[in-house]
Amino acid sequence: MIKVIRKTALYAFLTIVAVASVFPLWFMLVGATNTTQDVLSSRLWFGSNLLRNLRDLTGVQDLTGALWNSTVNAVTATVLALIVCSIAGYGFEVFHSRGKDRVMSILLLAMMIPFSATMIPLFRMFSTMGLGNTTLAVILPAVSTPFMILLFRQSSRSFPHEILEAARIDGLNEMTIFFRIFIPTMRSTYAAAAVIIFMNAWNAFLWPKVILTSNASQTMPMLVSNLVAGYVTNYGVLMLAVLIASLPTMIIFLVLQRSFANGITGAIK
Amino acid sequence: MRSSWKIAAIGLVTATAMALSACGGSTQPSSGHDTAVTGDSLTVWAWDPTFNVYAMKEAGKVYQKDHPNFTLNVVEVPWEDVQTKLATYAQSGQLDELPDIFLMQNNAFQKNATNYPQLFTALTDAGVDYTQYSPSVVNYSTVDGVHYGVPFDNGAAIAAYRTDVLKEAGYTLQDFTDITWSDFMTKATDVLAKTGKPMLSGLSKSVDLIMMMVISAGGSLFTEDGKPVLVDNEILGKAVAQYQQMVKAGVFLEVNGWDQYVNGFVNDGVLGVINGCWILGSVQTATNQEGDWGLTNLPKLDGVSSATNYSTNGGSSWAISSKANFGLAADFLKATFAGSTELYDTILPSSGALANWIPAGKSSVYEKPQSFFGGQPIYSTIVDFSTKVPKFTPGAYLYEAIDALSVAVTKTLSGGDAKAALQEAQDAVEFAQQ
What pLDDT, in 10s, does the model give residues A229-262?
Answer: 877 889 999 999 999 999 999 998 888 877 777 7
Say if B61 falls within a structural domain: yes
* B35 — pLDDT class (breaks 50, 70, 90): low
Give the 3-state secondary structure of residue B32: coil
Identify the pLDDT of residue A161: 84
* Co-location of B67 and B177 in the same domain: no
Residues forming beta bridges with residue B200, ordered by sequence position: B252
Say if B375 falls within a structural domain: no
* A42 — pLDDT class (breaks 50, 70, 90): confident
Q: B372 and B294 in contact (C-beta within 8 Å)?
A: no
What pLDDT, in 10s, does the model give residues B414-428?
Answer: 888 888 899 999 999
pLDDT above 60 for B32: no
Identify the pLDDT of residue B15: 47
Identify the pLDDT of residue B33: 62
* Co-location of B84 and B72 in the same domain: yes
pLDDT above 90 for B281: no
Say if B275 falls within a structural domain: yes
Backbone torsions φ then ψ of A114, nearest 5 degrees: -70, 150
Say if B419 falls within a structural domain: yes
Among A60, A210, A232, beta carbon nearest to B282 = A232
Say if B98 falls within a structural domain: yes
* Co-location of B96 and B214 in the same domain: no
* B412 — pLDDT class (breaks 50, 70, 90): confident
What pLDDT, in 10s, does the model give residues A118-149?
Answer: 899 999 999 999 998 899 999 999 999 999 99
Its pTM stands at: 0.81
Identify the pLDDT of residue A268: 52
Identify the pLDDT of residue B199: 96
B94 and A127: CB-CB below 8 Å?
yes
Residues forming beta bridges with residue B151, ordered by sequence position: B317
* B116 — pLDDT class (breaks 50, 70, 90): very high
CA angle B34, B40, B44 (to 5 degrees): 85
Average pLDDT, chain B: 88
Q: What is the distance between the alpha carbons of residues B207 and B180, in angstroms, rounded to a whole number?
A: 19
* B297 — pLDDT class (breaks 50, 70, 90): very high
* Co-location of B323 and B296 in the same domain: no
User: Which residues between 365 and 394 in chain B have a beta carbon less than 8 angstroms from any beta carbon of chain A?
Assistant: none
Q: What is the largest CA-CA distance in chain A?
A: 73
Q: Which residues are within 8 A (CB) of B157 and not within 5 positions of it... i.e. 6 or more apart?
A: B212, B215, B216, B274, B275, B276, B277, B298, B310, B311, B312, B313, B385, B389
B48 and A229: CB-CB below 8 Å?
yes
What pLDDT, in 10s, does the model give residues B181-215?
Answer: 999 999 999 999 999 999 999 998 889 999 999 99
B92 and A120: CB-CB below 8 Å?
yes
CA distance A218 to chain B (A): 9
B19 and A119: CB-CB below 8 Å?
no
* Co-location of B305 and B425 in the same domain: yes
CB pairs under 8 A between A and B: 122
Please give the residue that has the higher pLDDT: either A263 or A93. Answer: A93
Percent residues over pLDDT 90 in chain B? 63
Q: What is the distance between the alpha carbons of residues B16 and B22, in angstroms, rounded to a whole number?
A: 10
Identify the pLDDT of residue A26: 95
* B11 — pLDDT class (breaks 50, 70, 90): very low
* Co-location of B401 and B302 in the same domain: yes
Say if B373 falls within a structural domain: no
Among B4, B267, B281, beta carbon nearest to A101 = B4
CATH number of the domain to which B54 belongs? 3.40.190.10
pLDDT above 70 for A151: yes
User: Which residues between 215 and 234 in chain A have a beta carbon less than 8 angstroms from any beta carbon of chain B?
Assistant: 215, 218, 225-226, 228-233
User: Which residues between 197 and 236 in chain B have a beta carbon less than 8 angstroms from any beta carbon of chain A?
Assistant: none
B281 and A61: CB-CB below 8 Å?
no
Say if B403 falls within a structural domain: yes
* Co-location of B278 and B184 in the same domain: yes
Say if B339 falls within a structural domain: yes
From B358, B390, B352, B396, select the one nearest B373 (Cα to Cα). B352
**Topology of A62-265 in CATH?**
MetI-like fold (1.10.3720)
* Co-location of B82 and B143 in the same domain: yes
A60 and B49: CB-CB below 8 Å?
yes
CA distance B5 to chain A (A): 7
B15 and A CB contact within 8 Å: yes
The number of folded domains in chain B is 2
* Co-location of B293 and B225 in the same domain: yes
B22 and A124: CB-CB below 8 Å?
yes
Q: What is the distance between the alpha carbons of residues A78 and A84, in angstroms, rounded to a whole number?
A: 10
Identify the pLDDT of residue B13: 46
Instruction: Report which residue type is found at B375.
Output: G
What pLDDT, in 10s, does the model give residues B300-349?
Answer: 999 999 999 999 998 899 999 999 999 999 999 999 999 999 999 998 87
B290 and A CB contact within 8 Å: no
* Co-location of B407 and B282 in the same domain: yes
* Co-location of B417 and B288 in the same domain: yes
Domain of residue B295 covers: 158-311+392-433
B18 and A CB contact within 8 Å: yes
Average pLDDT, chain A: 90
A210 and B85: CB-CB below 8 Å?
yes
* Co-location of B182 and B258 in the same domain: yes
